Amino acid sequence: MLVKSSTELVRQQNSALVLASLRRHGPLAHTDISHHTGLASATVSAITTELEKAEVLERREQQAAASRGRPRVIFGQRRGAGYLVTVRISSDLVQYSLADYGGTLTDRFEEARNQADSSTRPFAEAFVAALDRLADRSRIGREEVLVVSISSKGLVDPASARLLWSPVFGAEQVDFAALLQPRWRAKILLSNETLLVAHAMALRMEKAGVENLHAVAALSLGHSIGLGIARFDRGGDLSVTAPNFGHMLNSSDGKLCRCGSQGCIEASAGFYGILRTAFEVPPDTIPAKFVPLAEMDKIALRARQGHRMSEYAFRQAGLALGQGLSRMVSLYENMPIAITGPGTRYFDLIRRGLEEGLGQSQQVRLLGAPPITVVPEEATLVLEGHLDRALSEMDHDIITARTGAE
């Protein structure tokens, strides 16, 4: 019995390697799969035959470049093997997307949020209705949706799929597992949004062939402040974390944060913190729930025109961010930092303070500042992170369910 279980485990692991290789490189022939996975050709042949029989993979033909000779047989995911839903919860809207097993986006829509209402009941009702609508629009059964992947800024408990605290709902928690049971049988994944951004950035940089890539950080600027850190181990496996960076205590200046604490990084660097400083509002004033981009653009314009307090507000935001990042590189190592989010449109005003804050770290003074890149398309990165993590979960579950592995 032990030998049988061990054999099945190895078979499952090898099948996962094959699927992971197809995820990373696209449809491949037997020889290419063998090259990328290190598995013997006979093993690859047995796995692809089994997965094709289980309707997980499908054969395709690829014409030779010179259009002579027999076309190559390549294998790729069968798109209808299952579906996944991604849900991105942000301050002003909720975005719902549907993708197939091949990772192709097949439907998407957005619903505006009422910023004045931070209670969870209206959201919960709209959330369930939106998932039903997504399935009905695409004419698929709920049982065909294998994963629902949800993201939000804030503190999440991935094990229970519970949103513990967020800038959207405050301390009012959302239990997504309870919301979807028993009508939906899909696995529920709940992630901090900036964790997904860091995950996607790491994969992008790896694919681009960045040398000596050990880790990458993603810093999200906007209504709230988020940080994700992605690290590669010696085997090349990726692990990603999202420390509670925005609510790290940074100063004793008495600035009130949305979390209820005083002196958090976000209290200076979030949109509401910048607005409060620019208009010289007392630091213990209750933070605005939502600051429109149009209002932030006005403050930025005044800063670029030389208005002293507006300039100061952005510089103080940068200083708080830089000081926080200086602690990160001291705890970990110097790593590339990708700046994302709607706040990237003001990075020219923030940069000076950020570099000053980073320079307060001994490690930065001795080894130099980490490379910083502005990557504005945060929503695209979030979706890429959703898809990669959710599809990996689908691969594992499909192997277990359809090939008889235990």
Over residues 280-301, the pLDDT tens digits come to 999 999 998 889 999 999 999 9
CATH class of 2-77: mainly alpha
And the tokens for 233? 């181990």
pLDDT at residue 116 in the model: 66
Mean pLDDT, the chain, whole residue set: 92
* Pair 26, 40: CB distance under 8 Å: no
Q: Has residue 64 got a pLDDT over 80?
A: no
And the tokens for 222? 């906007």
Q: Has residue 66 got a pLDDT over 70?
A: no
The percentage of residues in the chain with a pLDDT greater than 90, rounded to a whole number, is 76
Q: Fill in the amino acid letter for 156.
A: V
Q: Fill in the amino acid letter for 62.
A: Q
| Gyration radius from the chain CA atoms | 24
Between strands 72-77 and 57-62, the pairing is: antiparallel
Which CATH fold topology does 81-195+381-402 show? Answer: Nucleotidyltransferase; domain 5 (3.30.420)
pLDDT band at 68 (very low <50, low <70, confident <90, very high): low
Question: Coil, helix or strand for 186?
Answer: coil
Name the residue with higher pLDDT: 44 or 2: 44
| 3-12, 88-97, 179-188, 385-394, range with the lowest pLDDT | 3-12
pLDDT at residue 374 in the model: 97
* Pair 265, 250: CB distance under 8 Å: yes
* Highest mean predicted confidence (pLDDT) among 30-44, 229-243, 335-349: 335-349
Q: Has residue 5 got a pLDDT over 50?
A: yes
Residue ranges per domain, the chain?
2-77, 81-195+381-402, 204-379
Provide the b/e sequence for 230-241 (b: ≥16 CB within 10 Å). Answer: bbeeeeeebebe
Q: Has residue 202 got a pLDDT over 50?
A: yes
pTM value is: 0.91
pLDDT at residue 174 in the model: 95
Q: What is the spatial distance between Cα 203 and Cα 196, in angstroms, rounded to a whole number?
A: 11
Rounded to an integer, the average pLDDT of 113-117 is 72
Rounded to an integer, the average pLDDT of 74-85 is 94
pLDDT at residue 74 in the model: 92
CATH number of the 204-379 domain: 3.30.420.40
Same fold, 2-77 and 81-195+381-402: no
